[in-house]
Amino acid sequence: MTIRNWFKFFFNALWIGGLVTAIAGLIVRWDFFNGYIQSGEIWQFLGALLWMVFLGFTMSVVAQMGFFAYLTVHQFGVNIFKTLTLWNWVQLLIIMVVLFDLIFFRFRLTADDTGRSLLYLLLLVTLVVVSGITAYLKAQWTKKHTLISALFFMIVVTTLEWLPALMVRSGNIDEWVTILLFPLLAVNAYQLLALPKYNTMSDADKAKLEERRAARRKESKASTSK
């Protein structure tokens, strides 16, 4: 990918993270934001909303770091297990382990707290459904064998990026766990689906650059022969 296209890719992902976090924050923490509106504290409202946007920027950077780390891990996995088929089976196993860990260790669901259990089960369904749709689209738009790798990235890598919030047990952490899942999913889905387009654009840019260089060399040889 060329530097120009990488900047486009980076800033588009950045704004997606900021926008999604702001929207999710307004919905999940509406009572907090509505307090500023009811009291006429518009600047405080805008300041809090802007803070949510910057939080989304941070989540976007985390997601982008995770994405490029996964591209390296994926290549290592294919090289270690020799075949893509075997690596896909390993990825499926890791997906199952991560989902098991989420349900029984990270969420810590109890029968005594039905509301919290429903919230976390809804978040789990959101994670799996969005990941499944993204992986399906990735396979349809590129190659069929990318389905498992895309599913692995969307579930496992997103969970790893989400993990710091899941490990906190104080305050209104359930709200933040809910809010932070959505920018991670949105940015990761964007990266997975948009990367081929930017790679194609980069290849076209490189081809045009090579054509210009060849034209300049041809002109230089023509002027020298005169």
Sign of torsion, CA 182 70 8 137?
negative
Query: Is 7 a residue whose pLDDT tops 70?
Result: yes
Query: Is 213 a residue whose pLDDT tops 80?
Result: no
Q: In this predicted structure, what is the pLDDT of residue 220?
A: 66
Of 127 and 170, the structure prediction assigns the larger pLDDT to: 127
Half-sphere exposure of 85 (CA within 13 A, CB side): 0
Average pLDDT of the chain? 88
Sign of torsion, CA 84 97 172 109?
positive
Q: In this predicted structure, what is the pLDDT of residue 123?
A: 94
Nearest to 163 by CA among 175, 153, 152, 177: 177
Q: In this predicted structure, what is the pLDDT of residue 1?
A: 73
Are 106 and 166 within 8 A, CB to CB? yes
Q: In this predicted structure, what is the pLDDT of residue 95?
A: 96
Q: Choose the weakest-confidence range: 89-98, 115-124, 128-137.
A: 115-124
The band of 40, judged by pLDDT with boundaries at 50, 70 and 90, is confident
The span from the CA of 107 to the CA of 167, in Å, is: 9
